[in-house]
């Protein structure tokens, strides 16, 4: 079984990739940093005895997305799970953020998932429990201060997910939008936030694995997770 996970060497992506590896999925992953990919591959293969196929790519660039898709196609292995996790967050409001912020955020958070899913559509298995997870956000459900282009891109990704779900349901391919609130990752590195106030990356991975583990007759269309004490 093969799981394709973007942005898989840190934060949510890493926790999700490790969870599927633990359950004996081979992985096809990408990230921007080659060293991070090599370290992840060595660690996961030795710990779980599965294969990790790595590809260095900046998914804000369409050609890089398509090159990653071609790399996966070359593996000649049906895809059981696709997790469109790669994303970026730059704070700012739509009226005061830097010029180009919207284009960058849309390319990274929306278009990477759009292009990769389209490119891999014929390799996604239709005979098992195939599943596509798109990493949306609480910011894709309601506007918030300093959300700006990031929030707009996540609203758009949520819309893409809903349309994809409708188009693929007759093919027995399940599609979920994941909407995490504040979760411990590199974005929070150096902050003074209490660990008791923020979710763990593993919480998101558990939710995704639980959705996948259901029978093929069931789909969790939206998974919303928030810190117990509320949004930050």
223: nearest Cα among 128, 150, 132: 132
Domain residue extents for the chain:
2-225
pLDDT values of the chain reduced to their tens digit, one per residue, 232 residues = 999 999 999 999 999 999 999 999 999 999 999 999 999 999 999 999 999 999 999 999 999 999 999 999 999 999 999 999 999 988 899 999 999 999 999 999 999 999 999 999 999 988 788 999 999 999 999 998 889 999 999 999 999 999 999 999 999 999 999 999 988 776 666 677 777 788 999 999 999 999 999 999 999 999 999 999 888 7
Q: What is the CB neighbour count within 10 angstroms for residue 186?
A: 8
132: nearest Cα among 163, 87, 104: 163
pLDDT digits (tens, 9 = 90+) for 153-190: 999 999 999 999 999 999 999 999 999 998 877 666 66
pTM more than 0.75: yes
CATH architecture of 2-225: 3-Layer(aba) Sandwich (3.40)
Q: Are 86 and 133 in contact (CB under 8 A)?
A: no
């Amino acid at each position: 079984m093969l799981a394709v996970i973007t942005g898989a060497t840190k934060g949510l992506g890493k926790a999700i990739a490790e969870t599927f590896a633990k359950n004996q999925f081979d992985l096809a992953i990408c990230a921007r940093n080659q060293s991070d990919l090599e370290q992840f591959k060595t660690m996961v293969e030795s710990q779980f005895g599965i294969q990790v196929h790595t590809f260095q790519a900046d998914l804000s660039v369409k050609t890089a997305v398509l090159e990653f898709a071609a790399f996966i196609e070359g593996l000649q292995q049906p895809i059981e799970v696709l997790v469109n996790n790669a994303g970026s967050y730059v704070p700012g409001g739509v009226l005061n953020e830097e010029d180009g912020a919207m284009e960058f955020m849309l390319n990274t958070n929306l278009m990477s998932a759009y292009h990769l899913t389209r490119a891999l559509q014929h390799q996604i298995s239709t005979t098992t429990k195939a599943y596509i997870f798109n990493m949306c956000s609480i910011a894709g459900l309601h506007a918030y201060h300093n959300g700006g282009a990031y929030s707009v891109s996540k609203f758009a990704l949520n819309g893409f997910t809903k349309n994809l779900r409708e188009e693929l349901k007759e093919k027995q391919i399940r599609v979920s939008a994941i909407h995490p609130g504040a979760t411990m990752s590199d974005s929070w590195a150096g902050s003074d936030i209490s660990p008791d106030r923020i979710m763990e990356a593993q919480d998101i991975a558990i939710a995704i694995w639980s959705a996948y583990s259901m029978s093929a007759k069931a789909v969790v269309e939206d998974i919303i997770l928030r810190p117990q004490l509320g949004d930050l």
